Amino acid sequence: MQEEIKRLEKEAQEAIGSAKDTGALEAIRVKYFGKKGVLTALLRSMGALPTGERPKVGQMVNETSQRLEGLLENRLAIFQKAEKQQRLAEEAIDITIPAREMRLGRLHPLTLVYQTTRDIFLGMGFEVREGPEVEWEKYNFEMLNIPENHPSRDMQDTFYITDKILLRTHTSPVQVRTMLAQKPPIRMICPGRVYRVDEVDATHSPMFHQIEGLVVDKGITMGDLKGVLDVFAKALFGPATRTRFRASYFPFTEPSAEMDVSCSVCGGEGCRVCKGTGFIEIMGAGMVHTSVLQGCGIDPRVYSGFAFGMGLDRMANMKYGIADIRLLYENDIRFLEQF
């Protein structure tokens, strides 16, 4: 028995000496001192010894246990210290490194002009509507009174998907959608992308943006049209802005007009931007054609309305003095950072 205890102590000492980390030490502790440990078993088996031998052997086991436990604890302390040191080193944060610069994003000039425009019309009681960019030919042309032989229906000008479905060439089909869905009074604007077959140059892009407007109610007149659009132009381009309306033609309005605003660069004196005229055209407008109202189930003897449509890209360029529409789509950070 005593031989066995000595042998066990030696074996345990060697194991402790060659353990590599706290995990290994824990395994040793369990092996010798655990519930099913070797030394625990020895103590239990003492009952089988002759009574005379028990105290001596008991003392030996106890002393051995104490030595081994001391050894274990020392080694454990050493490993724990080393492991803590290693963790501290790994998790070290260098608080002297300068903070990474926060890059603030900016709104795109198109978004800026849209938001300003939207807010002006919201302030006059308009709602915002949206419609699909892939549109029925019927809504884009037919119900807007645009006849079969109209040049804008040409394959040269319009991206057709089938002969009944196309990429909308303007936001005006949203007028139709709104009137089909809702009875007057209607006061809405509709922003969105529109598409036309065009080569890209400084003033053309096959995709650009428009904002449409529609008001339908009892007793709406050309005076309402001029008043609303004049308020809008002054709010967007400044209080000194003057507006003028020229007679024009659109199939879906009668009478039709084009609205010019005094040039924001020269104030109306005449310059390179306004080509010496002092004015710049910014939108088409007019009284909603009775056939369009009727086609959408609105009785033109009871209701009348006005509509307008403007190019958002053009207005952004005017407002910010941008000379080339391509800049709006190239995502060049040096350009975008200026807004």
CB of 198 to ligand DAH, least distance (A): 13
Part of the chain binding ligand DAH (CB under 6 A), chosen from 31-39, 87-95, 134-142, 301-309:
301-309
Nearer to ligand DAH, 172 or 264 (CB): 172
Q: Which of 308, 312, 315, 317 binds ligand DAH (CB under 6 A)?
A: 308
Asked if residues 237 and 228 have their Cβ atoms less than 8 Å apart, the reply is no
> What residue type is 141 in one-letter code?
F
**117 lines the binding site for ligand DAH (CB under 6 A):** no
Site for ligand DAH in 201-220 (CB under 6 A): 212
* DSSP H helices in the chain: 2-18, 22-33, 38-44, 54-90, 109-123, 137-140, 173-181, 222-237, 290-295, 312-320, 333-336
Rounded distance between C-alpha atoms, residue 66 and residue 292, angstroms: 102
Question: Which residue in 233, 235, 215, 237 sits closest to 224, CA to CA?
Answer: 215
What is the C-alpha separation between 175 and 156, in angstroms, rounded?
A: 25
Q: Does 187 bind ligand DAH (CB under 6 A)?
A: no
Among 307, 312, 315, 328, binds ligand DAH (CB under 6 A): 307
How far apart (Å, rounded) are the C-alpha atoms in residues 69 and 63? 10
173 belongs to the binding site for ligand DAH (CB under 6 A)? no
Question: What residues numbered 272-291 form the site for ligand DAH, per CB under 6 A?
Answer: 284-286
Residue closer to ligand DAH, measured from CB, 114 or 250: 250
- Strand bridging mode 127-128 / 186-195: parallel
Q: Is 68 in the site for ligand DAH (CB under 6 A)?
A: no
| 195 lies in the site for ligand DAH, by CB under 6 A | no
Chain residues in the site for ligand DAH (CB under 6 A): 170, 172, 212, 250, 253, 284-286, 307-309
